[in-house]
Chain A
Amino acid sequence: MPILEGQGVTKYFGGLAAVSHVDFHIDQGEILGLIGPNGAGKTTLFNLISAAFPISSGEIRFKGQKLNGLKPHQICKMGIARTFQETKVFANMPVLQNVLVGAFFGSPKRVPTADAAREAGQALEFVGLSAMSATPVKDLTLAHQKRVEVARALATKPELLLLDELMAGLNPAEVSEAMELVTRIRDRGITILMVEHVMKAIMGICGRVMVLHHGEKIAEGTCNEISCNKTVIEIYLGVETHAGS
């Protein structure tokens, strides 16, 4: 049974359909990649799932439960956590405090302080930032800030994690590290939906890929199927023409 399911998901900004009648599903335990050219509606779809925006029409179900009309903090407490394309860390707070916010408020029940502290410590260790727990996040590199976001999201104990361009702006070594991190998160049993432009990362770790273009879903399948798909190649590289014709 899919952990997350969308039917006819649509979002209008004024008259413009940023996401239009998208049906999708994410299976328990998989890593689903979401790709598409700039402006395809990938982040909008993220924002609809995490309830940053209200949905215009259609519905999204998480473990069979309808998400329409819920607030972001309720979505988080249900078990869906996210990171942001432009990192939205609590810049002036130390790394540990950032993660503590997730640990304290991410669960539906009240978390005792000792548990939250332990949870936050474990999340930091998992992403490899234990040594920096007292550093203000603004003093960290972009790669480390993105890890803080991941740790913060993990501290909310999600079942589904939405990663919005985790690899953007990272150097090749950092990309490999981030790929390894995402795989380890999946191995913990957390389902992952990731938006990514770094194709190496998508091809390396995603089980399945979904392609959006102008707000519509144009393809879906395994990495191999997608990389051979004619429509996908056309939207990324343009229509093939022959010299002289």
Chain B
Amino acid sequence: MDISKFTSKKFLLAAGLVLAILIFLVTLPAYSSNSNVGIWVTILMYIILTVSWVMFSGSTGYMSLAVAAFFGLGMYTAAFLYPKSGPLLPLPAVIIIGGLVSFVFALVTGLVTLRLKGMYFAIFTFGFSVLLYHLMVFYELQIIGKRGQYLTPITNQTAFYIVLIILVLTLLTAYLIRRSRLGLAMQSIGESEDAAAHMGVNTTMVKVITFAISASFMGATGAALAPKWEYIDPTVAFNTFYSFMPVLMAVFGGMRELYGPVIGAAIFAYTERTLRLRFPYYYMLAFGIALILIIIYLPGGLTGLVPKLQGKLRGVIAKLRKGGQSEQHANT
């Protein structure tokens, strides 16, 4: 069989699927209720946070719990530049600056902390989110004397399209990084950082750069969502919930393929929403149990099932063929 034909067919299929999803999303606000569009904004937000988290942590194996920090920095950037009293800059500029602020913060903290390994890095990044939260509380209560910030509101539709654009850019970046030598370097760091360094990989630079790139998408998303929420305060912006959700969603979906975190985040965010409305007290319990089951029985996440099922399917087909042949043999 011609392999290139097969792969190009597969490629066309994937491209067609992506295009279909994109068309579905672009036209969604046209036939969806306003509140439905609002739900989709949240789903897309989780997908961006998860994909950008995986962009750095998935391959290098450095577990970052600083999503809340960079997400919140983006929100506060928007709060300062797009306040209720009147926007200082147009919205796209605010969002780009939100991304840049997170990029710079990630660059600086990365340079200081990416020497830390394993547990220590995770705890530091967690502490970083908490630190920013307390700094903001201090700033609002002690310096400006009012808690929370109001923003110039934007419609669900505007927020939806902005978040969709950020999502496309995030996915594109993640895809390109995975295919590039930067992606190869990150993977080698995740496998054995020592060996990578001795093979000429400037490990510190690779880690810091990708940490900052992934943070910039989190920041941009924060800057896009703050005006939709109209009001933010430190508890909303630097909620450590946003640090843990992407980790759970990535584990849920599986991190081997790019679409793993996308599927994980989409399903997770959607069911979370529905379950929370129906079973406000039990939904987290159900999630916890589901997650434990997945970690135990599906270490590759949901998408880790695909190659397994493919293998099984092939086995069944081969068996059927063999069975058919032996039957023929018996007949002759």
Residues of A participating in the B interface, judged by any CB pair closer than 8 Å: 50, 52, 71-73, 75-77, 81-82, 84, 88-93, 97, 100-102, 104-107, 113, 152-153, 156
Contacts and interface: CB of A to CB of B under 8 A. Distances in A.
Contacts of A71: 197, 202
Given A100-B184, A101-B184, A101-B185, A106 B191 contact: no
B194 A88 contact: yes
Contact of A105 (B192, B194, B200): B200
B187 A82 contact: no
A102 B200 contact: yes
A76 B184 CA distance: 17
Nearest to B188: A101
A227 B70 CA distance: 64
Contact of B199 (A91, A92, A93, A152): A152
Given A90-B187, A90-B191, A93-B188, A105 B199 contact: yes
Nearest to A108: B200
A89 B194 CA distance: 10
Task: Give the contact-size bracket for chain B.
Answer: 10 to 19
Contact of B184 (A75, A97, A106): A97
A105 to B, nearest CB: 4
B198 interface: yes
Given A90-B191, A90-B192, A93-B187, A50 B198 contact: yes
B263 interface: no
B275 interface: no
B327 to A, nearest CB: 35
Nearest to A78: B200
B184 A73 contact: no
B191 A77 contact: no
Nearest to B202: A73
A88 B201 contact: no
B199 A76 contact: yes
14 contacts: A71-B202, A72-B194, A72-B198, A73-B198, A73-B203, A77-B200, A88-B194, A89-B191, A90-B195, A90-B196, A93-B191, A101-B188, A105-B200, A156-B200
B278 interface: no
Contacts of B195: 84, 88-90, 152
Contacts of A107: 200
A85 B199 CA distance: 15
B181 interface: yes
A93 B185 CA distance: 12
Interface of B is mostly: helix
A88 B202 contact: no
A162 to B, nearest CB: 9
Interface in B103-118: none
Interface in B27-46: none
B192 A88 contact: yes
A144 to B, nearest CB: 16
Contacts of A106: 199-200
Nearest to B204: A71
A101 B198 contact: no
Contacts of B200: 73, 76-77, 102, 105-107, 156
The 4 closest A-B pairs by CB, nearest first: A90-B191, A105-B200, A88-B195, A76-B200
B182 to A, nearest CB: 10
Contacts of A50: 198
A189 to B, nearest CB: 20
Contacts of A102: 199-200
A101 B201 contact: yes
B198 A82 contact: yes
Nearest to A111: B181
Given A90-B187, A93-B187, A101 B199 contact: yes
Contacts of B199: 73, 76, 81, 101-102, 105-106, 152-153, 156
B198 A92 contact: no
A102 B184 CA distance: 11
Contacts of B194: 52, 72, 84, 88
Contacts of A105: 181, 185, 199-202
Nearest to A107: B200
A50 B194 CA distance: 11
Given A97-B184, A100-B184, A73 B197 contact: yes
B181 A104 contact: yes
Contacts of B184: 97, 100-101, 104
Given A101-B196, A104-B181, A104-B184, A92 B191 contact: yes
A100 B191 CA distance: 14
